[in-house]
């Protein structure tokens, strides 16, 4: 059974940092791209970043580029997202998902969790003073 379990969310002040984790099981982790998406209150799903199976290729949304870093530990099947210089607009539920986002998702046009074969339950990140 494929499982993706996110953790690491919480309340942080603007300018602060968090590291999100996504523990994967039930599939050959290294064979799959992995993606982080997020959903802010009252807004649609937004692609954040994705990374290749080997971890050597990654892409970021312009809204997070230079502040967030995606990485993976293939020995332990864990996906990470380091969030630095957090802003109030980063407040959202963050989901990890298996696979590569559709073009429409990665360009901000249309994104849905059902675009992916599997996704986790999400972890809440709240940026507030």
| pLDDT digits 0-9 by tens, 78-94 | 999 999 999 999 999 99
Tokens of 69: 């870093």
Mean of pLDDT values over 75-80: 98
Output DSSP code: residue 106: H
Rounded to whole angstroms, how far apart are CA atoms 74 and 86? 27
Distance of CA 77 to the CA centre of its chain: 15
Residues in the chain: 129
Q: Please check whether residue 121 is in contact with residue 16, taking contact to mean a CB–CB distance below 8 angstroms.
A: no
Mean of pLDDT values over 69-85: 98
Q: State the pLDDT confidence band at 1, using cuts at 50, 70 and 90.
A: very high
Q: Please check the confidence at residue 116 and state whether its pLDDT lies above 90.
A: yes
Q: Nearest 5°: phi and psi at 113?
A: -60, -30
Output DSSP code: residue 117: S
Mean of pLDDT values over 86-113: 92
pLDDT value at position 110? 85
Rounded to whole angstroms, how far apart are CA atoms 61 and 105? 10
Tokens of 17: 């940092």
Rounded to whole angstroms, how far apart are CA atoms 4 and 88? 26
Using alpha carbons, select from 29, 44, 32 the residue that is nearest to residue 95: 44
Three-point CA angle 50, 122, 19, nearest 5°? 65
């Amino acid at each position: 059974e494929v499982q993706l379990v996110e953790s690491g969310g919480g309340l942080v002040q603007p300018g602060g940092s968090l590291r999100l984790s996504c523990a994967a099981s039930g599939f050959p982790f290294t064979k799959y791209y992995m993606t982080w998406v997020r959903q802010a209150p009252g807004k649609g799903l937004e692609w954040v970043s994705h990374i290749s199976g080997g971890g050597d290729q990654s892409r970021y949304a312009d809204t997070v580029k230079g502040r967030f870093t995606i990485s993976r530990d293939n020995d332990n099947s864990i996906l990470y997202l380091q969030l630095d210089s957090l802003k109030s607009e980063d407040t959202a539920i963050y989901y990890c998902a298996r696979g590569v986002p559709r073009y429409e998702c990665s360009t901000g046009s249309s994104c849905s969790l059902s675009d992916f074969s599997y996704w986790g339950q999400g972890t809440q990140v709240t940026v507030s003073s």
